[in-house]
Structure 1
């Protein structure tokens, strides 16, 4: 039993010692380790051309066109700038620089459904409201269009922001030739038609 306890204590001591050594052997915040050497990182917008040695410091060069690095690193190649593809519903909001990737945003009438940091990476077209529905809330760059159904006695072709009441032909002294539906207004005849209807009604007497 004592031997087991002793072994456990030795194991714990070994782990603590190893962690203690790693803490003190790790490179500084602005350095990267390579083959046991701590090399200075290249600044944002730069890449490593030649790693440091015991005699010389890291050699850095600017990122070439259409590439970037957005934080200090020991990378030997810069990242490719994102392309805002219209086929994915995207357009450029902010162009790529040597220190920041391209920022994409949805095209007009599209909204973002997938995002990475402050850039949209995929967008889809806003839904269209159907006849008999109205636009309760217009779509934005991050939300789809919200549609509502028209109530009885009103109509919308799908593009209205509120449903409109059906015309009441009688109040205009006109005959109704087609009743209104949820997607279309009532159709009224003209005054000539009204007079013709009135004459026909008199012919019975």
Structure 2
């Protein structure tokens, strides 16, 4: 009997041990197979992944223990649990355009974060190439109002005012009602205008009773809103003032245009300005150049001011050297340079790429961009006049740069002309 009980107890203990082992095995299998717990397998062991902000230096040597993880170096990051052996490099600047700004700097756990400036949202230009740009918020058309503000990633949303309201100056206003005595409705309230009421004079008012007067809804019980009288007077005064200013500007502009035409004819007719001292010469006449349709590039000048500098090799190096030392917003300058359609279509992306290739060396960035412009385009575009016209178009407040380039070209033209005659 004792043996029977002992045998039964041993069987029960074995079952408990088997159940415990089975439970542990199942639990281990769950941990090994669940990627959400941050583990991975290596050399037969289950190791914990390195946390964000670190990278893997050495794998674990026991089950369910951490591997050796080191912090990410400066200017690198790791944003999630991983067994990566190195951290990713941080983005150094926002690549999209001038309307994008940095909102969060790069840390060991996240990359540089950029977003569009206030008033702009991220817009996809080309779906297949994933080309994006910051686009200005839209404006609601007449009869609609903004029902949802824009965000850095989405445009505003426009809609109509609820029933019983109309839109004015981008806001919803409650429709008025024709409730005055002897007043009837003429035009009901709609999406863009309030109601219009019609007043029927009484016999005791002194009127014949046949004349009808439209009464705006802001006239209540015979009292006229002050705005009804003041606003027309203010508008009339502003109109008269605007007319006088316009006449004055047109008159002044006409005189300037006559002088400009005379000086412009003088400038074009002379193939070369002969000066004894270029540094003391007066500022050359500057005429605003038109731009290509749908482009920011200026159109090529049909008549050259420097016919002796027809060969670009005679002026490129010294003129490019001045631009490399003096230009500030050089990418905007390159976008305005005239060129063939193939060049103007990719000038933005090439400027961004050159800035990355020559990072930290602004002069080399400018020189490389100018060299590409001179190599990709024909003589119709690659001439001194294109440089001068672009300076005039882009750098409107730096007359000195325009004059310095003009004086330099005059000196080069004189030397070229002298060398040609001496042969």
Q: TM-score, structure 1 length as denominator?
A: 0.46
Larger Rg: 2
- Per the normalisation by structure 2, the TM-score is 0.25
Larger RCO (CA under 8 A, 6+ residues apart): 1
More strand by share: 1
Greater helix proportion: 2
